[in-house]
Structure 1
C-alpha cells in the first residue's frame, strides 16, 4: 500500500537563539531540497517560532523596524505593509499568525502576498516564494 499523505512534525522546545537558528536552517534545507525535486507545489511546509517576550506576539519595535527597512533593488518596490509581511514570512510566521498580529484577515495577507509577487515579478509560490524573499 502506498502512502497518499505523509506528515513530518518537528516539535521542539527551543531555549536559545542558536537553537532557533539551527531549526530555521533545517527548514531552509528542506525547502531547498523540495524545490530541487519539483515537489514544492505539492508540499506545504510551515515553521513557526515564537519570538522572545510575550509568546506569539511580535513587538511593536519589530513591526516598525520591518516596515521602515527599505532594501535596495526590487524589494524597494514593496509597500511598508508588504515589507512587514515579507519580514514576518522570513521569520517563519504562518499566514494565520501574521493576520492575527496585524489585525487583518487571512485573505488580506494572501492578497498582499499576491501583490508582492506581481511587484517582484515572481511566479513562485509557497516555500519557493519565501525562499526567494530570504
Structure 2
C-alpha cells in the first residue's frame, strides 16, 4: 500500500524511507506542481520543510506524510484548503481511509453484501440528516 508509507514505496530512489526529499522529488511522487507545494506551506502552518541556503526545501518523512494527507483531503475528498487545514488540526483528516476500512460493516453469516450496503446507506443518510438539522439551528 504505497499511499500510506510516505518514505518508502512511493519513492523508488534508493534512499532510506526516512530520508529527506527535495521539493522536486515530492512533487514528482505526488504529481503536484512545486508551486502548489510552496502555496500549501503558506496555507498549512504545520507544513514546514527544512530550508537550506538559497531557499532549497528538504521534506522530512513527517512533512511528506502531511503532504500526502493534504493531497488526499483536497484532491480526492473535495475539502477546501481551509477545511482541510481545520480537519488536520482537529485530527479528523488523519488516516480516513484506514478508519473507514476498519469501521466498514461486515456481513454477518447469512447476510448478503447488499443488505450491509443498504444498512450503511441508511446510517449515512441519518448522519446527513442530523448534520443538516444541526446546521439549520
- TM-score normalised to the size of structure 2? 0.22
- TM-score normalised to the size of structure 1? 0.22
Higher RCO (CA 8 Å, separation ≥ 6 residues): 1
Larger Rg: 2
Task: Write 1 or 2 for the structure with the bigger share of strand.
Answer: 2
